[in-house]
Chains A and B, each alone.
Chain A
């Protein structure tokens, strides 16, 4: 009995099939599990373990290494404000403080209505528009307290549903029509290519030898 919805379960199985070893699908599957439950629930972790041929302890131990995975429930919108060097120089600390006041929660906490979780992030690689803000890992590019507050109002009113989908960075990453090349095909193709190149090289060497004798 799958904990995941049918569509998520199907995508999970497709992802596992892309890798030579099942465990390699760990990070993508954890993103999917988070998309399904909003965080990594015990049931989600158990299902990822089953899909990757590992144990729930393995999955939890891996997930806890990575900042993007939440082992506790978080808000509908995870708001990340960067305070690393480029953003620090542009007022990132002040914007983070303002964000806490607007959202009504401390860094690392979730607002009482369950809508927002506030995080202080490391560099998000968008330093030309500092300080950098992401909501559910989408750049919202609100660099001032005023534009930040307007963005929060838009989120509350549902006006950013298209730009800021719910959890899961893979929600719109869909692989189509990708024929996975089988290992046997690859081996046969590489062997044939190598044989052809060897034959070419031998022919070239023989031709050079004959040309040398002619001189």
Chain B
């Protein structure tokens, strides 16, 4: 049975139809965390977040407090919020920006105060038309409420927040690519080093880039204290996390669960959560953390939902999305569709990714649609090895950003786990499921 006794930290207003309004937000404790933060020294606010050991919720899982501590001292610095959620089957930030925009805005102001940054940009993917409206309305309300603008809530702190629309490019979730888009350019990831925008970011100035969910945790952390947050979860994975459950389950959706205390079996099968698979179906495989992550099979169902727990088994919790595939689904088709996605979204700067993704996609296409050859199976592995030499986890990188090394995950997983299915496709001259 799933463990569901932890407090809801970022989805506490999920049952209110008007959860996105200022009046509902104020009735449910809204902006109290900010008032408390403003009564503290900025470095003490940052210390609370450090104490919470909040891991970034964007995908890489870098500790937020440590990221903040790297911000180079400068007369001008920026905070940029990453709301470009585009990892396939990830839809938690969508929930947060549409359903609880004030919580995001309050978290952003708390972070800006802790960092002593006065200019913030919230970057939302352009397809979130309603999310853009809701966040802009929340900002308008926050200005009218005195939480934004000159000397907020009577303090000595002034802040301006601008919401910025993306325009349909997965790669802009990569933080340096996002900064390029914010500078009005093509979303090409920047060459590293410098590795961290905290040193050289927007317009070359120090910039902290944090995910929407990371920011949304801050009001609760400041109100209740970093220690209370750190008391939840286990090991390095503290607090709760939003998990986006998708694919062949009865109840796909966004679920907030305490870290580590539940397993993949709990979220997929518990009646209060995923509710299991359709009648008569059994689990074939699942992707534990977005399509960039290597797959798991039924044997890994009892793995706890924690960063190191999943990492130790050669995959990642990543963006917090879990995709369930049942025994009626075709893993070759699923793999082909994932490689098609990467091929389409590769920015084209680096040869291994640009050429490799298209080559892999074409080989996968002919396996699925007819014309596949037995030697394609080795060819696929060879191509993957050229993008991420050794096919180890975490992958070796031959490219500017991690999009390239994410391509082999699904191909390598599917071929290792279901080689017979690939062989059947070759022998059948296409998909036996059609």
| A interface residues with partner B (beta carbon < 8 Å) | 18-21, 23-28, 30-31, 52, 54, 61-63, 65-69, 83-86, 88-90, 122-128, 130, 134, 136-139, 169-170, 172-181, 183, 185-187, 189-190, 192-194, 197, 200
| Separation of A68 and B168 alpha carbons in the complex (Å) | 5
Report the separation of the CA atoms of residues A31 and B126 in the bound assembly, to the nearest whole angstrom.
9
Whether B144 lies near A122 (C-beta < 8 A) is no
Given A186-B158, A190-B75: A85 touches B116 (CB 8 Å cut-off): no
Cβ of B244: which chain A residues have Cβ within 8 Å of it?
127-128
Tell yes or no: B86 within 8 A of A by CB: yes
Contact partner of A89 (CB less than 8 A), chosen from B93, B156, B165, B325, is B325
Residues of A within 8 A of B86 (CB): 122-123, 125
* Contacting pair B165 A126 (CB below 8 A): no
* Closest residue of B by beta carbon distance from A28: B165
Partner of B252, one of A88, A128, A175, A185: A128
Residues in A with CB closer than 8 Å to B75 are 187, 190
A84 to B143, CA, bound (A): 39
Indicate if the CB atoms of B149 and A65 lie closer than 8 Å. no
Q: CB within 8 A of B132: which of A24, A86, A169, A197?
A: A169
Does B248 sit within 8 A of A, measured CB to CB? yes
Q: Could you say which of A86, A173, A197 contacts B89, with CB atoms under 8 Å apart? A: A86
Cβ A85 vs Cβ B338 within 8 A? yes
**6 tightest A-B contacts by CB?**
A26-B184, A67-B168, A66-B167, A23-B184, A68-B168, A127-B246
User: Quick check: is B162 within 8 A (CB to CB) of the other chain?
Assistant: yes
Partner of B127, one of A125, A170, A186: A125
B136 near A84 (CB under 8 angstroms)? no
Contacts of B162 in A (CB 8 A): 18-19
**Assembly CA distance A69 to B245 (angstroms):** 30
**Chain B residues with Cβ under 8 A from A139's Cβ?**
130
How close is B269's CB to chain A, nearest CB, in angstroms?
17
Sample of 19 A–B contacts (CB below 8 Å) = A27-B181, A52-B184, A61-B186, A62-B184, A62-B185, A63-B167, A66-B169, A68-B126, A84-B337, A89-B247, A125-B128, A170-B165, A173-B133, A178-B148, A178-B149, A179-B150, A181-B150, A185-B150, A193-B157
From the candidates B136, B158, B291, name the one contacting A175 in the complex (CB within 8 A).
Answer: B136
When the two chains form their complex, are residues A127 and B252 in contact, meaning their CB atoms are under 8 A apart? yes
Q: How far is the CA of A137 from the CA of B133 in the complex (A)?
A: 12
Give the chain B neighbours of A18 by CB distance below 8 A: 162
The residue on A at minimum CB distance from B43 is A197
Residues of A within 8 A of B334 (CB): 85, 88-89
Contact across chains for B116 and A123 when beta carbons are under 8 A apart: no
1/0 per position for B126-166, CB-CB distance to A under 8 A? 11111011001001100110001110000011111011111
Within the complex, what minimum Cβ distance (angstroms) separates B295 from chain A? Answer: 11
Q: Give the docked Cα–Cα distance between A83 and B166 (Å).
A: 21
Give chain A residues whose Cβ lies under 8 Å from the Cβ of B169. 65-67
By the criterion CB–CB under 8 Å, are B118 and A190 in contact?
yes
State the CA gap A170–B325 with chains docked (Å): 37
User: What is B's interface to A at a CB cutoff of 8 Å?
Assistant: 41-43, 75-76, 85-91, 93-94, 116, 118-119, 125-130, 132-133, 136, 139-140, 143-144, 148-150, 156-160, 162-170, 181-187, 203, 244-248, 252-254, 287, 291, 321, 323, 325, 329, 333-334, 337-338, 341, 344-345, 347
Docked pose: A69 CA to B118 CA in angstroms: 31
* A66 pairs with B168, CB closer than 8 A: yes
**Interface residues of B: mostly helix, strand, loop or mixed?**
mixed
Judge whether A177 and B91 touch: CB under 8 Å: no
> In the assembled complex, which residues on chain A have CB atoms less than 8 Å from the CB atom of B323?
85-86, 89
B160 vs chain A, min Cβ distance (A)? 5
B183-A24 in contact (CB<8A): yes
Give chain A nearest CB distance to B133 CB in angstroms.
5
Contacts of B347 in A (CB 8 A): 65
Instruction: Give CA–CA (A85, B319) in the complex, Å.
Output: 15
Q: Are B119 and A68 in contact (CB under 8 A)?
A: no
- Residues from chain B with a CB closer than 8 A to the CB of A170 are 132, 165
Determine the distance from Cα of A66 to Cα of B185 in the docked complex, in whole angstroms: 10
CA distance A183 to B325 in the complex (A): 52
A177 near B140: Cβ-Cβ < 8 Å:
yes
Residues of A within 8 A of B321 (CB): 127
What is the CA–CA distance of A201 and B230 in the complex, to the nearest angstrom? Answer: 28
- CB <8 Å contact, A130 and B130: no
Are A86 and B247 in contact, CB atoms less than 8 angstroms apart? yes
Contact A178 B165 (CB under 8 A): no
The interface residues of chain B lying within 8 Å CB-to-CB of A185 are 150, 158
A27 contacts B116, C-beta separation under 8 Å: no
With a cutoff of 8 Å between Cβ atoms, the chain B residues found around residue A65 in the complex are 169, 186-187, 347
Instruction: Give every chain B residue within 8 A of A28 (Cβ-Cβ).
Output: 164-165
Residue with the greatest number of chain B CB neighbours at <10 A, chosen from A31, A65, A181: A65
CB pair B116 A124 closer than 8 Å: no
Question: 16 more A-B contacts (CB under 8 A) besides A125-B90, A178-B149, A185-B150?
Answer: A20-B119, A23-B184, A23-B185, A25-B184, A27-B166, A66-B167, A89-B248, A90-B247, A122-B345, A123-B89, A126-B91, A173-B132, A179-B143, A183-B76, A189-B157, A197-B41
Chain B residues with Cβ under 8 A from A26's Cβ? 184-185
| Least Cβ–Cβ distance between B54 and chain A, in angstroms | 23
A170 vs B126: C-alpha distance when bound (angstroms): 9
Q: Are A68 and B129 within 8 A (Cβ)?
A: no
Chain B residue numbers with a CB within 8 Å of A197 are 41-43
With a CB–CB cut-off of 8 A, which chain B residues contact A67? 167-169
Alpha-carbon distance A130/B253, docked complex (angstroms): 11
Inter-chain contacts of A128 with B (CB < 8 A): 91, 244-246, 252-254
